[in-house]
Chain A
Amino acid sequence: MARESWAYVKGVPVVEVAFELADGSGTLVRRLQVDTGFYGPLASFVLSQADCQAVEMLPGPFLHSLDAHGNAMLQPTAVVRATIPSLNLRTEGVAVCMATVPGEHDGLVGLRFLDEHFARWGSERDSSGNRRLWLERT
């Protein structure tokens, strides 16, 4: 069983995910806000268009999306490979690529990603009183 945790940043839970660069030269580490309001059948991540260009293994299909105001849009997507080395996780996923990423971090990770790859997750206060998000794999 492997477990990792990250301190909340700016009051919200975050996960650090390393995306493999498309040219194979390394990884791009991004701090993603865990957002259970971001959900959908396919996409696991929301990234900026610039990040998508760097980590896109191949384009994915354009997907119908709805913004906070219920406006329908077609969003480009990228097929990406994501890793969390400390949890021995390496997986493929689809990122929605947006010109402006919602929130104050590098992007979003949705409930689907947690559901697919982790047995348990939660939030706790550390000894300093700071809240942390934890993920656990079996």
Chain B
Amino acid sequence: MLYFKVVPQRAMSVDEARRLNQQAFERIWQEAKAGSPKWTKGQWIGLLAGQVVAASLKFDEVLGAIRQAEPDPRRGMMFRVGEDYDQPVRVL
């Protein structure tokens, strides 16, 4: 597992944290799509305030790292690298 720095974010609103997480998700997704060696297919990524807090193939490791760093789950985000996010989800 790769651990990155934990960013203090208490002064930040939940909405702002989500906005930063979404921006980070889109950046990482684009990097992964371009073949960046920083990201491994199947890896779970955990974000807080737009910063990568944990990255691992093991879901529990990333979830645990996020929860340890930030008890309010609304401020975090998780996603898996390598999914084809270009395709919209279609709900008929």
Contact = CB atoms under 8 A, between A and B. Distances in A.
Interface of A: 22, 35, 37-43, 46, 56-68, 72, 75, 79, 92, 94, 96, 98, 102, 108
A39 B91 CA distance: 7
Interface of B: prevailing SS: mixed
B68 interface: no
Contact of A56 (B73, B80, B86, B89): B73
B63 A40 contact: no
A25 B64 CA distance: 17
A39 B84 CA distance: 12
Given A22-B73, A58-B73, A63 B90 contact: no
A59 B73 contact: yes
Nearest to A56: B73
B74 A59 contact: yes
Which 10 A-B residue pairings sit nearest by Cβ, starting from the closest?
Answer: A40-B89, A37-B92, A41-B84, A64-B88, A61-B25, A65-B89, A41-B87, A58-B78, A79-B78, A92-B59
A63 B89 contact: yes
Contacts of B4: none
A40 B78 contact: no
Contact of A39 (B59, B66, B90): B90
Contact of B22 (A35, A37, A62, A96): A62
Nearest to B66: A58
Contact of B91 (A67, A92, A94): A67
A38 B91 contact: yes
B90 A65 contact: yes
Given A58-B63, A63-B85, A68 B77 contact: no
Interface in B38-85: 46, 59, 63, 66, 73-74, 76-80, 83-85
B83 to A, nearest CB: 5
A51 to B, nearest CB: 15
A45 to B, nearest CB: 11
